[in-house]
A and B are shown apart, each in its own frame.
Chain A
Amino acid sequence: MKKLKHLFVSDWGRFVPGFLFCLVFAFLGMNLDHFIANYHKANVAAEKIPALEQQLQEMMESGGDAEALKATQTAIEKQRAAVAKVGGADGQRWGWATFLHGKAQFNYVAILLLGGILIRNFLPLPKILLPGISIARPVIKPGIIILGLHYVWSDVVQVGGLGLVLTAVFIFGTAIVVMWLCQKWGVPDGLGGIMGAGTGVCGVSAIIATSPVVRSSPIEMAYAIGTILFFGTLMLFTMPYIGKGINLSEAQFGAWDAIAILNTAQLVAAAEWYGSEALDTAVLINVARIMFLPLVVLFSLWFYILRTGKQEAGLEINKWKLVKDKFPVFILGFFLLVFLNSLNLESLGGPKIQGSPFWAMDAAYKWFFAIGFAGIGLSISFEDMKKAGGKAFAIGMVAALVKMVLGLGVVLLIGTEMLRVIGSH
């Protein structure tokens, strides 16, 4: 019993209200998405029906073959069913739904993120909800583990291998250039170290891992976190529209997103917003990216402490323990599912085989994401971003812009095929 007790945080009760709030918000967001999607489908169907009816009429007049007639009739019935699903009648249109769902990409990701930001910043959100909201974000992690079902080893080798090269170049390129420039510009080591790691690897998560190593001051951490959140949010809401504007394929967007967006939770949200193929590519490259986290922390340690001889006398640094502590263990779960999916076991099925265990797991991932996105939206506070400033802001802006432009150039050069995940499609 005592051992079981240790599984729970002693003050777990304070997390319950906010977490329940995120659950309800996610439920409403998903249902609103479903509602808009149904009307969008009905609108598309309503627009197709007259043309199909005319085609049927012409076929009947010209005495077309029976099978083609039957196929057209079935198609008309299918479109009518989509219209009937929303209680519509012949001739009715729902252009607003097509605008929201198709053109504005107003899906559950946008609903939860924008809705969350509005609630957090413009409504009096009770403080009792804040602890629970903060633990809703990591719920994305089980969703990412489940996404392992979307891949087979050939994807990991092709897209993940390419991702590994891309992320190695971009992560270490960014970290080295930022840290070197910071030293040239006289930026304190504490700030340079966390900005190098934060802009290079995975935003705030990297700042949290690196700040104790490079001994950043609280004010430097506040500046750096504010800057990363500001540019991460800006990119989250602009990159999907830039991608659509320049006709970037989903796979290319996923790779660009995984290279350029500074904060990881926002990266996953932007990819899911863009489309399922974008998510598959982004998550795989991002897994490669976060594997570098311990190495970047180790690099910061060498760059600021060991190389310059600033190590405190008598203090022994255990590098292996450092790497072990900073390793994101949950990605082992992701690779386990990739492995099981690659075995193609009949007992486990697959994400597309209805009724199989893997199909059931795959159906759950969007719900994990929805709860996580509710947490992300409700955590984006303008007050936090206003803390961005000083030299951190200038460094963040340069790093974000350079990564965005260079990353776009690279994914355009690579093309779609090399970046597309095959496993689930």
Chain B
Amino acid sequence: MPFRILVCIDGEPHSKGAIQWAIQLGLSLPAGVTALHVIDPYLKKFYNELYSQGRKRYLEYVDERLQEGADKTHSEFTRMCQAAGLEAGFKLRHGEPLREILDELRQTSPDLLIVGGKSLNAWGRFRSRNLPLRLQKKAGVPILTHIAKQ
């Protein structure tokens, strides 16, 4: 069974490093690479604020912008893979990122998970939900975390 890598991408600059690692490993091992992008519908929960007006338009707008972000992330990933000569897969999920990534891991059991992260100070660690750290605790598969310099 070929070696399989799952790389989590969110379209932010720090996930570019993770994509590059996944491409390099995919070519050198060789290994099958699949990217996972999770659309987090977090913003939608505010639609029924006390005096909010135009709720339907707001929900449509959030969907539209999140889908735009996902499309952009997908095309950037595809472009980077094509430039390196690697054929890779792309998956899209909707929901809370940690839960969706863990679900994907359970369903597909990859051999390696690659994620991108930021170098954070104490305040940044307190504020951020620190997905890479939480994944390290719960994933149950080897994880490579690419930390981007800020």
Residues of chain A at the chain B interface (Cβ within 8 Å): 130, 134-135, 137-138, 140-141, 202-205, 207-209, 211-212, 217-218, 221-222, 225, 264-265, 268, 290, 293-294, 325-328, 372, 383, 386-387, 389
Residues of B within 8 A of A134 (CB): 45, 48
Contacts known (A212-B58, A389-B127); A218 close to B43, Cβ less than 8 A: yes
Q: A-B pairs with the 3 shortest C-beta distances?
A: A212-B61, A205-B51, A208-B52
List CB contacts (< 8 Å) of B29-68 with chain A. 42-43, 45-55, 57-58, 60-62, 65-66
Whether B17 is near chain A, meaning CB under 8 Å from some CB there, is no
Residues of B within 8 A of A135 (CB): 48
Residues of A within 8 A of B128 (CB): 386
Contacts known (A222-B42, A225-B43, A325-B57); A205 close to B49, Cβ less than 8 A: yes
How many inter-chain residue pairs (CB < 8 Å) link A and B? 80
The reply to whether B43 and A138 contact each other, CB–CB distance below 8 Å, is no
Whether B69 is near chain A, meaning CB under 8 Å from some CB there, is yes
> Which residue of chain B has the shortest Cβ distance to A294 in the bound complex?
B53
Residues of A within 8 A of B45 (CB): 130, 134
Interface residue count for B (Cβ, 8 Å)? 25
How far, in Å, is A209 (CB) from chain B's closest CB? 5
Q: A209 to B65: give the CA distance in the assembly, Å.
A: 15
Contacts known (A212-B57, A218-B69); A137 close to B52, Cβ less than 8 A: no
Residues of B within 8 A of A208 (CB): 46-47, 49, 52-55, 58
Q: A203 to B50: give the CA distance in the assembly, Å.
A: 10
> Which residue of chain B has the shortest Cβ distance to A389 in the bound complex?
B127
Residues of B within 8 A of A265 (CB): 49-50
Q: A211 to B57: give the CA distance in the assembly, Å.
A: 10
The reply to whether A218 and B65 contact each other, CB–CB distance below 8 Å, is yes
Whether B129 is near chain A, meaning CB under 8 Å from some CB there, is yes
Residues of A within 8 A of B60 (CB): 212
How far, in Å, is A65 (CB) from chain B's closest CB? 57
The reply to whether A137 and B49 contact each other, CB–CB distance below 8 Å, is yes
Q: List 21 A-B contacts (CB under 8 A).
A: A135-B48, A140-B50, A205-B51, A208-B49, A209-B54, A211-B61, A212-B60, A218-B65, A218-B69, A221-B62, A222-B42, A225-B46, A264-B49, A268-B50, A293-B51, A293-B53, A294-B53, A327-B53, A328-B51, A383-B129, A389-B127
